[in-house]
A = this chain, B = another copy of it.
């Protein structure tokens, strides 16, 4: 019955990468806590870079300053 929520910035996460995140997170809960995969939820949130802040700045502004 675990619930795993993964939040990342929406910087091009591919369908294949999402599959790997879902599979990997489920396997982690099965391996470490012996949980049942059929009742293990993994939810991925992709957050816009101007909606994610770190160190006083948005990721969008940080990326622009880096480019």
Contact = CB atoms under 8 A, between A and B. Distances in A.
A40 to B, nearest CB: 7
Interface size class of A (residues with CB under 8 A): 35 or more
A32 B21 contact: yes
A4 B54 CA distance: 10
Contacts of A21: 28-29, 32-33, 53
Most buried by B among A5, A21, A35: A21
Given A8-B1, A33-B8, A38 B55 contact: yes
Interface of A: 1-9, 13, 15, 17-29, 31-33, 35, 37-47, 50-61
23 contacts: A1-B54, A3-B6, A4-B6, A4-B7, A5-B5, A8-B33, A17-B33, A18-B58, A21-B28, A21-B32, A21-B33, A22-B53, A22-B58, A24-B24, A24-B32, A25-B25, A28-B28, A37-B54, A37-B56, A39-B39, A43-B51, A45-B47, A45-B51
